[in-house]
Amino acid sequence: MTFKTLSLTAAMVAALTLATPLTSFAQDAHADAPRTDRTRVFKAGGLGCVGGSALALLTGKRDRALAACAAGAAVGAATSYVQQQRELADETAAAARAAGMQAEVVTTEAVVDGERQPVVESLPLAYDPADMKRLDAATQNFFDKLAALLNKSSNGLTVRFEGRDAAACQVPIVELAKRGALAKVTVDERCGSGEHRIVVTPVPDLR
């Protein structure tokens, strides 16, 4: 029993040692990428690394420990990204509803880390033009939440702005630009026609 305990401890220590350079490499590789909750992501990746490499060490496959660490870290990080994506979309939708808007987080199922999980597909946000002209505290908070979601996104995101009231339709564009949230997204501006709404599609993957 003592031998097994010591072997497990040694394996976990070795796995953590392997995880350290992997985490450092991941930080360097994404130095210029948009940020998300890095501490949370790397914790998830580190735990995946420990699990994968410890198993390889305990089964005597030491030459595969580093590969198992990398694979385990990728699995943990992917799940963490998806979870953060849903949370940020939900927070944005909740802030929109608190400001009197209609909001829906549209999800679809996708295979993540070998399991089917709900992944956010789009975020339509319908607003009252009068609210865009008043810009009260609740509406300002909504723009803060939406800007946070966009700022933590990777490239490839499209944000569509629609509304028959062209002046009101321009307000979200200005407010998000002031928060630096449109620099890396594609703006589809359709002010002057259609329903008054903002549609984010696809919601960013936060990598």
Q: Which residues contact 60 (CB under 8 A, 6 or more apart)?
A: none
Q: What is the largest CA-CA distance in the chain?
A: 75
The answer to the question of residue 89 being in a domain is: no
Nearest C-alpha neighbor of 175 from the set 199, 144, 200, 136: 144
CATH number of the domain at 120, please: 3.30.1330
Better-scored residue on pLDDT, 90 or 84: 90
Measure the CA dihedral 11/13/19/24, to 10°.
-160
Residues 9 and 46 in one domain: yes
The answer to the question of residue 109 being in a domain is: yes
Domain ends where: 82, 114, 147? 82
The answer to the question of residue 60 being in a domain is: yes
Nearest C-alpha neighbor of 55 from the set 67, 45, 43, 44: 67
The domain in which residue 161 lies consists of 100-201
- Reported as half-sphere exposure (CB side, CA atoms, 13 A), residue 35 has a value of 7
Residues 104 and 78 in one domain: no
Domain count, the chain: 2
The answer to the question of residue 57 being in a domain is: yes
Q: What pLDDT score does 206 carry?
A: 57
Residues 105 and 173 in one domain: yes
Q: pLDDT, tens digit, for every residue of 106-121? A: 988 887 778 888 887 8
Residues 116 and 164 in one domain: yes
The answer to the question of residue 92 being in a domain is: no
Q: pLDDT, tens digit, for every residue of 7-63? A: 434 444 444 444 444 333 334 433 343 444 545 444 444 444 544 444 444 555 555
How is the chain split among helix, strand and coil, in percent rounded to 5?
60, 20, 20
Strand locations in the chain (E): 102-103, 106-112, 115-126, 158-163, 186-191, 193-201
pLDDT confidence band for 184 (50 / 70 / 90): confident
The answer to the question of residue 123 being in a domain is: yes
Q: What pLDDT score does 42 carry?
A: 44
Q: pLDDT, tens digit, for every residue of 124-181? A: 999 999 999 999 999 999 999 999 999 987 656 899 999 999 999 999 999 999 999 9
The C-alpha R_g of the chain, in whole angstroms, comes to 22
